[in-house]
């Protein structure tokens, strides 16, 4: 099947948003631009796109999907988290504890988002296999998992493989799957949906509604779901519009799309690279000090370094990313 450019654009722009968030936190010590404005949307959109890719016209092949999850997400998770574990502890100034590192990796604590994605995709695969294409049961089980995530979120336990986050993510996989299933019937203009999403964002900001998904701290689930649905509808339609109307040979578009294509590698790097860049800029007496333009300089540096490292990995050791 031909690769869809708009999917890589969605992932690429969301990955840039995550890099921006990490850069801002490490460089300034805080979220200057509130987390609720964009971070939750960027993270949940990755789940939404994963759900979109689950849908196939033919019968769902459970064994093939599980093999794909193992090859493209689980194996890279263990490899990347093992490689960066020691440097990560050294940079943070923590005592080196090999047993603790092994335990953290094996319990899915080394990268919360990837661990939740792995578990969510496995659960969703099981749900699709059980439902045999029956929409009613698929809806009931997906919504049921979301309800269970709310219950577990209220029990303050550090769940292995971020179980509560994984159960919550299933609803976004379900949304993406549903969107793909009825994609031909959805003909909404992004500029009609965008104002509605902006209204929701203004409402959240005015009332200070928390929308954290790790740890799950959501004050209003109705507003939360409306936000995610509206954002994905307008943002995906926007990227589809860009795919249709813009020059696909544009260097900028190609770079964004390439970032989206390699988004998993970027995600593993999005903690370490911003931290190192922030430390380097502070040592060069170029600390934040209230000058926000310096955050942009830090972000550009982070993106270029992360892109260079990603290119080296893809070019010379693609096997660790699950590529054939």
Q: Copy the structure tokens of residue 112.
A: 């919360």
Cα dihedral 45, 49, 51, 52 sign:
positive
Query: Along the 324 residues of the chain, how does pLDDT read in single tens digits?
Result: 578 999 999 999 999 999 999 999 999 999 999 999 999 999 999 999 999 999 988 889 999 999 999 999 999 999 999 998 877 777 666 677 788 889 999 999 999 999 999 999 999 999 999 998 799 999 999 999 999 999 999 998 889 999 999 999 999 999 999 999 999 888 778 788 999 999 999 999 999 999 999 999 999 999 999 999 999 999 999 999 999 888 777 889 999 999 999 999 999 999 889 999 999 999 999 999 999 999 999 999 999 999 999 999 999 999 888 876
Q: Of 276, 273, 261, 315, give the one whose Cα is nearest residue 13.
A: 261
pLDDT at 93: 67
Cα dihedral 122, 51, 320, 274 sign:
negative
User: How far is residue 20's CA from residue 11's CA, in Å, rounded to a whole number?
Assistant: 14
Under a CB-based contact definition with an 8 Å cutoff, are residues 299 and 50 in contact?
Answer: no
Under a CB-based contact definition with an 8 Å cutoff, are residues 226 and 200 in contact?
Answer: yes
Instruction: Count Cα neighbours of 216 within 13 Å in the Cβ-side half-sphere.
Output: 27
Under a CB-based contact definition with an 8 Å cutoff, are residues 54 and 181 in contact?
Answer: no
What is the model's pTM? 0.95
User: How far is residue 171's CA from residue 191's CA, in Å, rounded to a whole number?
Assistant: 25
User: How far is residue 126's CA from residue 242's CA, in Å, rounded to a whole number?
Assistant: 35
**245-278 in b/e burial notation, b at 16+ Cβ within 10 A?**
eeeeeeeebeebbbbbbbbbbbbbbbbbbbbbbb
> Coil, strand, or helix at residue 298?
helix
pLDDT at 324: 63
Under a CB-based contact definition with an 8 Å cutoff, are residues 65 and 319 in contact?
Answer: no
| Beta partners for residue 211, in sequence order | 218
**Lookup result for tokens 């769940």:** 159
What H or E segment, with its residue span, contains residue 213? strand 211-213
């Amino acid at each position: 099947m031909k690769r869809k450019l708009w999917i890589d654009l969605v992932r690429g722009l969301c990955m840039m948003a995550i890099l921006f968030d990490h850069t801002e936190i490490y460089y300034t010590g805080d979220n200057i631009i509130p987390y609720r404005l964009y971070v939750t949307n960027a993270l949940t959109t990755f789940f939404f796109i994963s759900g979109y890719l689950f849908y196939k016209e033919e019968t769902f092949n459970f064994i093939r999907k599980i093999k794909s999850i193992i090859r493209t997400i689980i194996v890279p998770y263990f490899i990347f988290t093992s490689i960066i574990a020691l440097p990560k502890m050294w940079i943070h100034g923590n005592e080196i504890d090999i047993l603790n590192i092994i335990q953290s990796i094996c319990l899915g604590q080394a990268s919360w988002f990837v661990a939740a994605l792995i578990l969510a995709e496995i659960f969703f695969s099981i749900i699709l296999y059980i439902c045999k294409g029956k929409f009613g049961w698929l809806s009931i089980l997906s919504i049921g998992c979301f309800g269970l995530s709310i219950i577990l979120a209220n029990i303050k336990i550090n769940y292995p493989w971020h179980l509560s986050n994984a159960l919550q993510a299933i609803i976004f996989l379900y949304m993406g799957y549903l969107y793909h299933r009825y994609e031909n019937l959805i003909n909404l203009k992004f500029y009609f949906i965008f104002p509605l999403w902006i209204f929701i964002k203004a409402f959240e900001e005015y009332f200070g509604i928390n929308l954290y998904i790790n740890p799950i701290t959501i004050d209003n689930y109705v507003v939360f779901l409306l936000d995610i649905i509206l954002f994905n509808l307008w943002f995906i339609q926007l990227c589809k519009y860009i795919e249709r109307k813009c020059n696909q040979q544009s260097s900028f578009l190609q770079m964004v799309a390439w970032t989206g294509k390699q988004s998993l590698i970027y995600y593993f790097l999005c903690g370490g690279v911003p931290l190192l860049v922030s430390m380097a800029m502070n040592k060069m007496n170029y600390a934040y000090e209230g000058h926000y333009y310096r955050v942009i300089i830090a972000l550009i540096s982070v993106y270029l370094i992360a892109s260079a490292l990603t290119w080296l990995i893809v070019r010379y050791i693609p096997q660790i990313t699950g590529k054939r």
